[in-house]
Amino acid sequence: MGTSVWNEQAFAGLRLVLAGGCGGIGRHLAGQAAALGAQIRVLDLPASIERHGAALPCIPMDAKDPASVDAAMAQAANELGGIDACINLVGYMSEHKALQQTATEVWQDVMRGNLDAAFYISRAALPHLHRSERGSLLHVASGLGGWARPMFGAYGPAKAGMILMVRELALENAPKVRVNAVAPGAVDTAFLRGGTGRSDESAPPNLDPNTYGKVVPLGRMAVPQDVSDPILFLISPAAAYITGQTLQINGGTYMP
């Protein structure tokens, strides 16, 4: 995203929390926001912080544990002097299997790591956002939350629940806090290998970027900036009249 005047004004001094911010999109987003003058705290798993958090101001958090989320969010608010925007990038998928073949413990784990985590993060962040004059909450969902595809087990239903939760939160917290989501298609990051902090990032991705790009109208797989730029727009004053929306970012593969 460029450095136009409104961007500089929008992000100068912005107190920004990135939950799950050590992943590929999160690291790129943190760099962009910091360059625009935002004050940032990244909340993520200790393993993710160890791998990728050296250059970021990080606070350990397990998003599947509500007590851990509450403590990390409170620490971030204390260190920043409040929270103006919170972006939830937490999420991961399981091995590709049909729902009928998905084990109960796998279903529960994916729900906890996506939908439950989004709820815990929202609940912890909202009291702080309501004390801000520019409160904004944004969740990273997935196109699979609206476009049903086979063999994605619990992940699609978890993201579908997140998208509906965003609408409910937008209604409940208007006009003080705006709540939106982005729903990316495949992005060339460690997520395609299971997720930052939960996988062998040197392993080959479960989607080949070149093969995938051939079926995308815009001709390629997304890279982190394709998602981080729209996120920055949605938490900025340029999107002041946007709430309860889910922006699809997929190169034209899914047009609801």
The CATH architecture assigned to 5-249 reads 3-Layer(aba) Sandwich (3.40)
Domain layout of the chain by residue ranges: 5-249
Taking CA atoms, 7 is separated from 17, 65, 206, 223, 241, in Å, by: 18, 35, 36, 21, 17
Query: What distance in Å separates the CA atoms of residue 58 and residue 46, rounded to the nearest whole number?
Result: 9
pLDDT of 130 reads: 98
pLDDT of 2 reads: 45
Report whether 38 contacts 1 (CB < 8 A): no
Q: 102: how many CB neighbours lie within 10 A of its CB?
A: 18
pTM: 0.91
pLDDT of 219 reads: 94
Query: What distance in Å separates the CA atoms of residue 115 and residue 155, rounded to the nearest whole number?
Result: 9
Written as tens digits, the pLDDT of the chain (256 aa) is 444 445 567 899 999 999 999 999 999 999 999 999 999 999 999 999 999 988 899 999 999 999 999 999 999 999 999 999 999 999 999 888 899 999 999 999 999 999 999 999 999 999 999 999 999 999 999 999 999 898 888 999 999 999 999 999 999 999 999 999 999 999 988 666 555 555 555 556 666 788 888 899 999 999 999 999 999 999 999 999 999 999 999 999 999 8
Q: Which amino acid is at 43?
A: L
pLDDT of 177 reads: 98
Q: Is the peptide bond between 175 and the residue preceding it cis, with omega within 30 degrees of 0?
A: yes
Report whether 22 contacts 49 (CB < 8 A): yes
